[in-house]
Structure 1
């Protein structure tokens, strides 16, 4: 076996480096270092050639994470832009997990802007087989509609369990109460 078959291609190397940078960006975002995280995400995106089909899943993931960063920063228009890009490319490669995640994140933007009916419509696009719990820290992944309960207040958030709804209440209550008043 020659040494060229053991080394990775330039595309694979760039994707690997981009994923490393994106991982650091997610850590920075979690610590509240949003502007530094933004720089890391953009550096990661500069490494990826969008015309290479093998990079599409990586692009979808990074675009989705960049959207989450902007959502955390309250920059809703930018968040929506990146989530939409992620959803588009995820749809083209039929990545159901990323489609579901991007759609859920777009619904988060709509909820943050008190557009609860739009948020619910986005969530229901995945029915019945690829929906997500409304608790952003839930790790259950893709769920069926029958596995979820709808919030009794706003009727726009879906949860996999009472404990997930309870864990999410502090974040969700301002949107839920706004719709009820």
Structure 2
């Protein structure tokens, strides 16, 4: 048997050790997000730390950027703005190195949220618009369209800070976005 491959009976094709680690990281991250959504912050943080222990922090990767972004979101929900900002900045740095434009956009959006909570609206708006006009993404994280130009995006009518490529994407993203949408902000706010 090839030692670089792990096989599982009746589980489909063999997985490389790296694939199995990524699968475990993904599973832990998903569980952490579910716990975060239920308000079980301590348990979510524990699972994210377990996932981070499986990833080499010295090797920039999209997985590392995503984990750090998820940890930042958790800290944001916990009200730990300094911690959230720290993890979002780390995620942004790694995303730029790995050219992961979706994660760049997500990290920028999350950093803008931190600034918005701190009432630093100009900083928040500047972060959101860094990619304009050519390097912007739909705010729906599940959208597969990739990079878009700002004229191809519509802005959220509530918060004026999320950009969508279609009404369908905006509807699909509402469950995630509604927690950060601030309908009471002024029209020129983010």
Give, in angstroms, the shift of residue 6 of structure 1: 3.0
Are the equivalent residues in 2 in contact too, given 1:11–1:48 (CA < 8 A)?
no
Q: Deviations over 1:44-90 (max 9, x none)?
A: 1112122345xx11111111111111111221111111110011011
Q: Which runs of 5+ in 2 are unaligned?
A: 7-14
Q: 1:29 to 1:99 in 2, by over 3 A?
A: same
Rounded to whole Å, the distance in 1 between the matches of 2:182 and 2:138 is: 13
Paired residue secondary structure (1:3): coil
More helix by percentage: 1
Deviates more, 1:6-15 or 1:89-98: 6-15
1:41 aligns with 2:48: yes
Can you list the C-alpha shifts for 1:127-169, whole angstroms capped at 9, x where unaligned? 12333456xx675465421133457898x6244368959x668
Matched, 1:15 2:22: yes
Deviation at 1:3, TM superposition (A): 2.7
**1:24 maps to what in 2?**
31
Q: CA deviation at 1:178?
A: 11
Aligned to 2:114: 109
The reply to whether residue 74 of structure 1 matches residue 84 of structure 2 is: no
TM, length-normalised to structure 2: 0.74
Q: Residues 28 and 153 from structure 1, CA distance in 2 versus in 1: closer, same or farther, beyond 3 angstroms? A: closer
Greater mean deviation of Cα atoms: 145-154 or 111-120:
145-154
Partner of residue 182 from structure 2, selected from 169, 172, 176: 172
Q: How many residues align?
A: 172
Unaligned runs of 5+ in 1: none
Residue 126 of structure 2 corresponds to residue 121 of structure 1: yes
Please state whether the residue corresponding to 2:182 is helix, strand or coil. helix
**Structure 1 pair 83/19, CA: closer, same or farther in 2 (3 Å)?**
same
Q: Distance in 1 between matches of 2:167 and 2:19?
A: 42
- Residue in 1 aligned with 2:2? 3
For residues 157-168 of structure 1, the aligned pairs below 5 Å read 157-160=161-164, 164=170
